[in-house]
């Protein structure tokens, strides 16, 4: 990592230039077992906490909200504000996930939200309020911007199948704060990488819940610099999902979410486009992509 001291404003944290692998992950979701496994995995591959960047939603469905926040706070991982941090930090009435009222997700989300609200300490909520809404960095010459969902709608759902025009809307807004080659997001819960030509769109995946693929594995992404570009590797994370599910049941949290931890299937698919619904129960494979900067940009 460079000697540049990270700077922050009301909305952007700039980490400067990093010429080493960076691990991106989203949605710890109060899943302490998965978060511990991620830190162990990062240590094994030689990535320190300052190069572990979270796309938000540290707290959500599972049973250990305070412990997960403590782990990221104590480690000093850069974290972008998710809708869950925004809602809990500013004492909103719900998680702001974008679920329809009285939908299959709405009622259990209200349950975990109240559960988490009661267990988070004031200093943890203050940490949430202070999180940036964007993180900027450069990896091997590639200018990256990290957001949660969207620039104006923190809980915007953008999937692999979402129209390219919607992703370009976000890229244009991000370019108001500087050039962008790589956009890294979270929120939707499904990992993917979309080569859009001059830009690369990456959802790094979440570690706290499976990807609706019929396996209990969760997902994170390692981005490594290479000559005039990067290598993107979307990786599975194995952890003690049975223990995480037991913790949820012991705390009386929603059985549907506890079951998802073990069978790998979402209890409903209200938020998913048709293309992603059709992939239910189809086991994901690790993905690896090598991407180069456009020639004009690389030559500058």
Per DSSP, 277 falls in state H
What confidence tier does 3 reach under pLDDT thresholds 50, 70, 90?
very low
201 contacts 167 by C-beta, under 8 angstroms? yes
Which residue in 53, 277, 63, 57 sits closest to 187, CA to CA?
Answer: 57
- What is the model's pLDDT at position 101? 57
Q: How far does CA 27 lie from the centroid of its chain?
A: 5
52 contacts 74 by C-beta, under 8 angstroms? no
Least trusted range by pLDDT, from 4-8, 20-24, 68-72, 112-116: 4-8
- What is the model's pLDDT at position 244? 98
Given the DSSP bridges, would you call strands 52-54 and 229-237 parallel, antiparallel or unpaired? unpaired
pLDDT of 2 above 50: no
Q: Give pLDDT tens digits for 163-193.
A: 999 999 999 999 998 999 999 999 999 999 9
Q: Give pLDDT tens digits for 245-286.
A: 999 999 999 999 999 999 999 998 999 999 999 999 999 999
- Kindly give, in sequence order, each residue whose CB lies less than 8 Å from that of residue 144, ignoring residues fewer than 6 positions away: 136, 137, 138, 180, 181, 182, 183, 184, 223
Phi, psi of 8 (to 5 degrees): -140, 155
CATH topology of domain 7-299: Purple Acid Phosphatase; chain A, domain 2 (3.60.21)
- What is the model's pLDDT at position 81? 97
Average pLDDT over residues 63-71: 98
- In this prediction the pTM is 0.92
For residue 281, what are the CA distances in angstroms to 210, 211, 220, 235, 238?
11, 9, 19, 18, 17
Q: What number of residues does the chain have? A: 300
- What is the model's pLDDT at position 300? 47
Domain segments of the chain as ranges: 7-299
Q: Give pLDDT tens digits for 80-119.
A: 999 999 999 998 665 555 545 554 455 557 789 999 999 9
What confidence tier does 5 reach under pLDDT thresholds 50, 70, 90?
very low
């Amino acid at each position: 990592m460079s000697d540049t001291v990270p700077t922050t404003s009301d909305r952007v944290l700039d980490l400067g230039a990093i010429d080493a692998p960076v691990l991106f992950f989203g949605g710890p979701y109060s899943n302490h077992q998965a978060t511990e496994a991620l830190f162990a995995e990062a240590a094994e591959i030689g990535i320190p906490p300052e190069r572990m960047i979270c796309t938000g939603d540290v707290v959500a469905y599972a049973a250990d909200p305070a412990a997960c926040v403590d782990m990221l706070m104590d480690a000093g991982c850069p974290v972008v504000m998710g809708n869950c941090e925004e809602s809990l930090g500013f004492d909103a009435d719900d998680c702001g996930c974008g679920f329809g009222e009285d939908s299959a997700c709405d009622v259990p989300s209200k349950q975990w939200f109240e559960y988490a609200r009661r267990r988070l300490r004031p200093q943890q909520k203050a940490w949430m309020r202070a999180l940036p809404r964007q993180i900027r960095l450069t990896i091997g010459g590639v200018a990256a911007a990290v957001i949660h969902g969207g620039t104006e709608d923190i809980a915007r759902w953008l999937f692999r199948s979402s129209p390219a025009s919607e992703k370009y809307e976000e890229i244009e807004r991000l370019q108001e704060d500087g050039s962008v080659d790589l956009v890294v997001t979270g929120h939707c819960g499904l990992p993917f990488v979309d080569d859009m030509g001059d830009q690369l769109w990456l959802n790094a995946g979440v570690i706290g819940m499976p990807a609706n693929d019929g396996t209990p594995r969760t997902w994170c992404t390692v981005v490594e610099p290479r000559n005039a570009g990067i290598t993107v590797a979307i990786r599975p994370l194995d952890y003690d999902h049975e223990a995480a599910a037991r913790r949820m049941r012991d705390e009386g949290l929603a059985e549907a979410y506890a079951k998802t931890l073990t069978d790998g299937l979402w209890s409903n698919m209200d938020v998913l486009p048709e293309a992603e619904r059709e992939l239910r129960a189809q086991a994901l494979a690790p993905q690896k992509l090598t991407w180069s900067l456009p020639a004009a940009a690389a030559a500058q």
